[in-house]
Amino acid sequence: MNPDPRQSPGDGDRDAGAAAVRAAAEWRARQDAGLTSSEQAEFIRWLEHDARHAELFGEMEDTWSLLNRTREIPLASLAATTAPPADSPGISTLAHRTRRFWLPASLAAAASLAVAVWVWQRPGDQETQFAESTTAEAGMLKRVNLPDGSVVRLRPSSAIAVSLGRHERHIQLLRGEAHFTVAKDAARPFVVEADGVGVRAVGTAFSVTTAAGSVEVLVTEGKVGVESARPGGLRATLLPKVAATRDAPVLSAGEKAKVSIPKPSAPIVTATVERLARSEIEAALAWQQRTLAFEAAPLAEIVAEFNRYNRQQFVVADAALAGLRFGGSFRADDPDGFLVLLAATAQVAVETRGNETVLRSRR
């Protein structure tokens, strides 16, 4: 077949590139609907077919994450954002093409907000097939969609490192709190590690929280194992043994385990387990809707939560006030409303100093 004289030599490459971009977008959209095992295998074959495919998928994921975050960025910030000119230097043709297709013009300049780093390695080279490190900034929620169909929701000021291998899906919770909705894959357990505690699942939903001296695990769907995960140590269960059964104990939906973390040289002790009421579970997960819910919580704990979501920071000036307990549900992005309620019910004096709001007991 003779080449079309009307077609330049680079047209075929451009067409192939456009087709690859469309395929990356389609795979990204299909992930939100959930991939079957056969679709997952097809997706892996597509990634392995061309090294450029993994890069395109990473670019599409960054864009998709940014779209998810448009609901979380203050409207004032969006109004102030302007798109770069189409002929701005230093922006690749591919980047222009992707952003035009996916982003409203007012969001194009905000693309730098996407901070995930994506890597795909051929299975024949290393066990790790996919890796990501990402952080939810202070005041921002973040959703991360993984290639296996799992979804991670990060609380503000939280961070994770992801490594998806051929035999295990591994997440390191570096700090903060995250909720995991795990895609079923019996051949590849999903393991979350935090401060030497491992949470092992196949297909379930749970949250993990790191705090000073402890790790908490709350299961909202299915079952998980909770085990010691210190380097070089035995992966022994940290859950209390169940009488009259030889099966390894598991944490079930509606249960929360709290593991105290001693000094690095000391063994991690058995977790304490409690069953939560529905209202307690909803309160624990309310942060996903930007709602803060408390039941007889110390003021110090309440203001610490508000400080995660707002640039204006609360400071409690005296210990007696910090220990007073309050309850209720509050919008995380409405600290002024909380202050009005606080001043009316607790006789609290409020003083603003720059980006700090100081709270004191009225004498």
62-89 pLDDT, tens per residue? 444 444 443 333 333 333 333 333 333 3
Let me know: does 217 contact 256? Beta carbons within 8 Å: yes
Would residue 283 count as lying in a domain? no
Q: Residue 141 has which token pair?
A: 């929620």
Query: Is 213 in the same domain as 187?
Result: yes
Among 57, 84, 112, identify where a domain stops.
112
Claim to verify: residue 106 and residue 125 sit in the same structural domain: no
N-term to C-term CA, the chain: 93
How high is the mean pLDDT of the chain?
75
Does residue 94 sit in the same domain as residue 157? no
Say if CB 282 and CB 312 are below 8 A apart. no
Range of the domain at 196: 115-277
Do 144 and 66 share a structural domain? no
75-to-69, 79, 107, 153, 154 alpha-carbon distances in Å:
12, 6, 11, 21, 21
At position 330, the amino acid (one-letter code) is: F
* Distance in angstroms (rounded) separating the CA atoms of residues 88 and 122: 35
Same domain? 105 vs 125: no
User: What pLDDT sits at residue 296?
Assistant: 82
In this structure, are 158 and 267 located in the same domain?
Answer: yes
Model pLDDT, residue 172: 96
E strands along 166-318, which residues?
Answer: 169-175, 177-181, 190-194, 197-201, 205-211, 214-221, 223-228, 251-252, 255-260, 272-275, 291-298, 313-316
* The token pair that represents 304 in the structure block: 């610490």
Task: Quote the number of domains for the chain.
Answer: 3
Tell whether 104 and 128 lie within a shared domain. no
232/314 same-domain check: no
354: CATH: 3.55.50.30
Do 162 and 264 lie in a common domain? yes
Low-confidence ranges of the chain (pLDDT < 50): 1-9, 62-126
Write out pLDDT tens, residues 116-175: 333 433 333 346 778 888 998 887 888 898 989 999 999 988 999 999 998 899 999 999
